[in-house]
Amino acid sequence: MTPRITLRFDFPNGRRLGHGKVSLLEAIGRHGSIAAAGREFGMSYRRAWLLVDEVNHMFEAPLVSARGGGAGGGGAQLTELGAKVVALYREAERKATASAKEEIGRIAAALAGD
């Protein structure tokens, strides 16, 4: 496995956005469902929903749009802002990894063998 950097942004007022929340958002985009995205990471629907609610309240507009369940079924999708935030986060991660490539290599070289 190639080493990589994962980022966590610590914003004012205790708001945080990192690898876990962004991965959950990506899974919602793939599955069209908060429940299915949560299952992908072994978390309950409630836990996944709470994380979605948290990120939805962090930004000027929601990142996830959800439809209620019931007989017709529910669903969820990333909003335009949600897709933009995910893309910006992944781009920042890519740039950080590229910028620290030499240091990452030196640290990896000092790791104990398996």
pLDDT given at position 2:
77
Q: Which residues pair with 18 in a beta bridge?
A: 8
String of DSSP letters for 42-103: T--HHHHHHHHHHHHHHSSS-SEEEE--STT--EEEE-HHHHHHHHHHHHHHHHHHHHTHHH
What's the chain's length in residues?
114
112, containing H or E segment: none
Mean of the pLDDT values across residues 1-17? 91
Q: Is a pLDDT exceeding 70 seen at residue 82?
A: yes
Least confident stretch, 4-8, 26-30, 56-60: 4-8
Which domains does the chain possess?
Answer: 16-93 (1.10.10.10)
- Among residues 44, 42, 34, 21, the alpha carbon closest in space to that of 69 is found at 34
The reported pLDDT for the residue numbered 72 is: 64
Tell me the pLDDT tens digit for each residue of 91-101.
999 999 999 99
Count other Cβ atoms within 10 Å, centred on residue 39. 15
pLDDT(13) > 90: yes
pLDDT band at residue 102, thresholds of 50, 70 and 90? very high
